[in-house]
Every structure is written in C-alpha cells, then in structure tokens.
Amino acid sequence: MKPRKILFVCLGNICRSPMAEGVMLRLLREAHLENQFTVDSAGMHSYHQGELPDARMRSHAARRGYSLTHRSRPVRAADFERFDLIIGMDDSNIAALKERAASLEEVAKIRRMTDYCTLYTDADYVPDPYYGGASGFEYVINLLEDACAGLLEEIR
Ligand code: 4NP
C-alpha cells in the first residue's frame, strides 16, 4: 500500500515543516494528484502554536511563488495513527518522534526528509534556519524542493 497521508515535522512548525508542506502541495497540484493525498505539518513543541510561518520563511517562499498559510501546531498522539509517513527534518526531530511513537508500527512511519533528496545527496538533515541569515532560508527551500520531488516519485 502506497502512503497517502504525509506529515512533515520540525521543531517549531514555523519554518522548515510548513515550507515542506507548501512545496509538496504544489508538486501534488502540478501532478493533478492533490485529491489523493493528505499533507500536513507539525512541530515538536508548541511555542508558536497558532502562528503563521516565520515572516522570513514566508518572504523567501513567496519569491518562489509559494504562499504559506499553515498555522503552527504541535505533534499529537493521534498523528501517529492517522498519518502513513511522518517525516522529520533533523536528528533531533527524529529522536523525539521515535520517543513519542506508541508502537513499533508507529516508529516504522518515521522518515528523514533528506533521504528523499536526489540532488543534495550529501545532505543528511535540513538545518534549522531560525537563528541564521537569508542564505539559510534559501538552502532550506532548495533542500525541500529536491526532497519533495524525490518523495513524490516514490509515492505516486
Ligand atoms: P523550525 O524552526 O523548527 O524550522 O520551525 C524553528 C522555529 C522556532 C524555534 C526554533 C526553530 N524556536 O526556538 O522558537
């Protein structure tokens, strides 16, 4: 069975994972597959719950034509049941997700975003751009566009 419900996860759910959600939704729309998939994002903590993505992330996204409207929310226990793939951005996200999973079946849904890269094959995590500059945000989008394209190939 191919995965149909995909959850992207980062720390705050205001930079990397809502960007991943935006990239994946656009790729699915372009492939006329949006009705077959559920895509969402969430964060390991709730500090930014209810907020739109970081203004810098939205601004870099907008330059490539993405409009990010997701509102930050924390990962919930029910996400591990509902979603088929739960994709973390870095080691810390993945370790925290594994701790939160309630069964081996739920652990088996956890993936690493950069494992889907076909261009940035040396990257093994999507770095947190929050405390960095503009180039960090651009690099995050480059990685996510690459990884989401690889993910789409795998699941379509
Ligand atoms: P994200 O970036 O995990 O890509 O959403 C961060 C956003 C906020 C914080 C850390 C990372 N924070 O510490 O508030």
What is the per-residue pLDDT across 45-63, written as a single tens digit (0 to 9) for each?
A: 999 999 999 999 999 999 9
The whole-number pLDDT of residue 1 equals 79
Domain count across the chain: 1
Q: Is the pTM for the entire model greater than 0.95?
A: yes
How many angstroms separate the alpha carbon of residue 36 from the centre of ligand 1?
30
Q: SS3 for 154?
A: helix
The whole-number pLDDT of residue 139 equals 98
In whole angstroms, give the CA distance from residue 125 to residue 39.
20
> What six digits make up the tokens of 101?
């999973």
Does the pLDDT of residue 2 top 90, yes or no?
no
Nearest CA to ligand 1 atom 7: 12
Question: For residue 89, what are the domain limits?
Answer: 4-155
CATH classification of the domain holding 11: 3.40.50.2300
Confidence of residue 5 (pLDDT cuts 50, 70, 90): very high
Q: Tell whether ligand 1 has an atom less than 6 A from the beta carbon of residue 113.
A: no
Backbone angles phi and psi of 39, in degrees to 5: -130, 135
Mean pLDDT of 72-77: 98
Alpha carbon 109 to its chain centroid, in Å, reads: 14
How many angstroms separate the alpha carbon of residue 16 from the centre of ligand 1?
8
Backbone angles phi and psi of 139, in degrees to 5: -65, -40
